[in-house]
Amino acid sequence: MGNTALNFGAGPAKLPREVLEDVQSELLSFQKSGMSIMEMSHRSKEYSKINNDAQAAIRKLLNVPDNYRVLFMQGGGLGGFAAVALNLINRTGSADYIVTGTWSNVAAKEAAKYGKVNLVYPLADKPGSIPDQSSWTLNPDASYLYYCDNETVDGVEFPFIPNNPHNVPLVADMSSSIMTKAVDVSKFGVIFGGAQKNIGPAGVVFVIIREDLLGKPMDMCPTILNFTHINKSNSVHNTPATLSVYIMEKVLQWIIKNGGVEGMQKQSLEKSNLLYQTLANSNGYYSCPIDQNVRSRINIPFRVGGEKGNEELEAKFLEEAEKLKMYQLKGHRSVGGIRASLYNAISKQDVSLLIKFMEEFQRAHS
Ligand code: PMP
């Protein structure tokens, strides 16, 4: 008997069961080698193949053009925030940031250590919305324009790629949205994120970077955050998180096998529509504070017991959910309430079970 928990966590998050079973089957002896992949050199032919296959899978899934490189790094999404600035802000000394929630705000603060950061609009007076693009102030001399495609904590997702009239390199944090939808990579300078939500376990950061942006880091840029060094060494400059890359490679193959990003996108829309519909049908018992047009398909925050939420009911909701083995539904500590994360490994069936529970909970507690 295995683990039958329903894991709605925001990350680390549910991984496809098939992938975990596959990992389990070769954990003690990778391809009859008599040792685990964890015990092998990052310069072995076995790991080199995994490293190259993972890059190739990302290229295939996102149709990455030839003039882009795919890198694997460490340091988490947060490391990525610093790396972006350390590698790119040098060109003009300043960068534009679109702040739509928690993570883009953290990223802007991190970048401000290394250069001048302009917010394209003042910090939102109304969280949970994206001001109209006509009101943004974009600097033609920005080294890059930065945004977070999907704010994991707040549940705000860009339904579009931001306008970039000055054609500066566009940088996107896609930690929580990567491989959930088709993306035109050619519009971007850099796409990066932690793998631990849609494409693997924690420990690896993917970076997709246009080649001409390499080679211009700040002098102070630490070697392990230096895109140019990591690229030159094909992501084995120092010891990478080999086990994480190995599992990520398997998740990427699982995505390819299950319809690619188009398949994931279709499912993602279906799953999130089902859940938002449940909120809409609850007569205000469940409510989502985010503007309709920027609601995330992936991380869905909601309150129980009315618009402001009833903390007692929410605690009960979490307690009863856990009795049904539905875990990690608690909202981020900064926003409270409930959050359901519907990453790629979450099936429609999982969402239906959550909805059934929500409907029963409402009947029993209103
Ligand atoms: N960006 C986004 C969109 C995230 O969701 C997170 C983490 N949840 C981060 C960055 C930070 O990632 P890490 O914890 O790997 O540093």
Q: What domains lie within the chain, and their CATH numbers?
A: 17-257 (3.40.640.10), 260-364 (3.90.1150.10)
What pLDDT does residue 1 have? 38
User: What span, in angstroms and rounded, lies between the C-alpha atoms of 333 and 10?
Assistant: 12
Strand 190-194 with 150-151, pairing: unpaired
What pLDDT does residue 127 have? 79
With a Cβ cut-off of 6 Å, ligand 1 is lined by 11, 76-78, 103, 148, 152, 173, 175-176, 194
What pLDDT does residue 124 have? 64
Neighbour-count burial of 22, counting CB atoms closer than 10 A to its CB (0-12 exposed, 13-18 middle, 19+ buried): middle
* Annotated catalytic residue within 149, 154, 173, 350: 173
Q: Whose CA is nearest to atom 7 of ligand 1?
A: 77
What pLDDT does residue 119 have? 96
**What's CA 233's distance to the chain center, in Å?**
25
What pLDDT does residue 4 have? 81
pTM of the complete model beyond 0.95: yes
Token pair belonging to 309? 């939420």
What pLDDT does residue 125 have? 64
What pLDDT does residue 303 have? 97
What is the Å distance from ligand 1's center to 118 Cα? Answer: 22
ipTM metric:
0.99
- Quickly list H helices, the chain: 17-25, 45-62, 76-88, 102-111, 227-232, 242-257, 260-280, 311-323, 348-364
What is the Å distance from ligand 1's center to 77 Cα? Answer: 5
Local confidence pLDDT in tens for the 366 residues of the chain:
345 899 999 999 999 999 999 999 999 999 999 999 999 999 999 999 999 999 999 999 999 999 999 999 999 999 999 999 999 999 999 999 999 999 999 999 999 999 999 999 988 667 799 999 999 999 999 999 999 999 999 999 999 999 999 999 999 999 999 999 999 999 999 999 999 999 999 999 999 999 999 999 999 999 999 999 999 999 999 999 999 999 999 999 999 999 999 999 999 999 999 999 999 999 999 999 999 999 999 999 999 999 999 999 999 999 999 999 999 999 999 899 999 999 999 999 999 999 999 999 999 999
What is the Å distance from ligand 1's center to 200 Cα? Answer: 14
Tell which one of 74, 99, 103, 156 to mutate to probe ligand 1, the residue whose CB is within 8 A of the most ligand atoms: 103
Residue 225 and residue 234 in contact, taking contact as beta carbons nearer than 8 Å:
no
Concatenated DSSP letters for 274-324?
HHHHHHHTTTTSEE--S-GGGB-SSEEEEEESSTT--HHHHHHHHHHHHHT
